[in-house]
Copies of this chain bind each other. A is one copy, B any other.
Amino acid sequence: MNNQALYDLSYGVYVITTWSDGKATGCAANSAMQITSSPATIAVSINHDNFTNKCIQDTGVFAINILGENCDPQVIGNFGFKSGRDTDKFADYEPKIKNMLPVVPKASAYITCKVINKMETSTHTVFLGEVTDADVINDDKPMTYAYYHNVIKGKAPKNAPTYRGE
């Protein structure tokens, strides 16, 4: 088996946000895909070890923040390589509130969702969210995971399915 083939799947680069006891929190993710068109639903995959997983389970809502190619890589570092358990991830990024959910101000688009189903796996929860609101914030080209990896030379957080080790 040549695992390199798995890295040929294409993804975007996102921050998935929600609330923790009334405070905005979130984590970086690349696994999100639209499932149905009417009503629009989207599946996102979040590691059990991510604090955001528990918060989505608690609140039943989340926002997908789409990052563009010109997004400051520090946004990914902030949301992808720290834990919301002991860090206020929005300390340097005053959230915009969209449809009652916190949105990362440097995102190029957002989609808010209400959880309507989920599938558990050994390490990740796949949340199925019905889209409740969506908008484009700026015209930056959506960042693909390949762009993040090859151009920005970014790495995958330890909890990502695409983590390749050191």
Instruction: Give A contacts to B, CB under 8 Å.
Output: 1-6, 8-13, 30-43, 45, 64, 66, 108-111, 117-119, 121-124, 126, 128, 131, 133-136, 142-146, 160-163
| Smallest CB separation, A43 vs chain B (Å) | 6
Check if A108 sits within 8 Å of B36, measured CB to CB: no
A162→B117 CA distance, assembly (Å)? 20
Chain B residues near A110: list those with CB within 8 A.
Answer: 5
Check if A134 sits within 8 Å of B1, measured CB to CB: yes
Give me the 7 closest cross-chain CB pairs, A-B, nearest first. Answer: A10-B12, A5-B134, A5-B109, A34-B161, A119-B119, A31-B33, A2-B135
| Smallest CB separation, A32 vs chain B (Å) | 6
Chain B residues near A136: list those with CB within 8 A.
Answer: 2, 4-5, 8
**A–B pairs, 26, beta carbons within 8 Å:** A2-B134, A3-B40, A5-B66, A5-B109, A5-B110, A6-B40, A6-B131, A8-B12, A9-B33, A9-B34, A9-B42, A10-B10, A10-B142, A10-B144, A11-B33, A31-B34, A31-B35, A35-B124, A35-B161, A36-B122, A37-B162, A38-B123, A43-B43, A43-B45, A117-B119, A121-B128
